[in-house]
Amino acid sequence: MKLNKLIDEKKLDNRIEELAYEIDKYYNGENIVAICVLNGAAFFATNLTLKMKTKMKLEFLKISSYQGKESTGIIKKYLDIDDEKVKNQNILIIEDIVDTGRSMSYLLEHLLKKNPKDIKVCSLLSKPSRREVDVKIDFLGFEVPDRFIIGYGFDDEEGFFRNIPYIGYR
């Protein structure tokens, strides 16, 4: 597959290192529950949390609104997190991309019902040109143009190519 390179491995690694530092500084010794949104954020969450010094528990959940290349606008929950793991905890959502904002808005509302102490959002990418629902991204890697992103956790419409070590588009 021919991809145009958008963000190379070195730039990714440097920015993730900076994000880890920013997050550590923000939490300043407090414990957190880091929640990786599967499947796309798996590579990002792994690399980010390995660079962080904050004491954390790592949990996973899975939601999706995509079918092929486009968001359907319908959010499906495939894997949830127990209420007790979130209640009175500092939550850091680790997401691959905030696109329309609908999925993140849904996720924030869903997790707020579980009574966390605090919720922050860390997203590797943001596509502000596609935003339909305003959501706050507390820790952001990069803003990207409206392109179909592939690599570093992002798959093609058939579910392949997540393991490309850089972020590309076609």
Please give the structure tokens belonging to residue 77: 């929950």
- DSSP string for residues in 58-85: EEEEEEEEEETTEEEEEEEEEE---HHH
Give the 3-state secondary structure of residue 16.
helix
For residue 2, CA distances in Å to 5, 15, 150, 161, 164 come to 10, 25, 11, 11, 12
- Catalytic positions, please? 99
Q: How far apart are CA 7 and CA 150, in angstroms?
A: 11
CB 46 within 8 A of CB 34: no
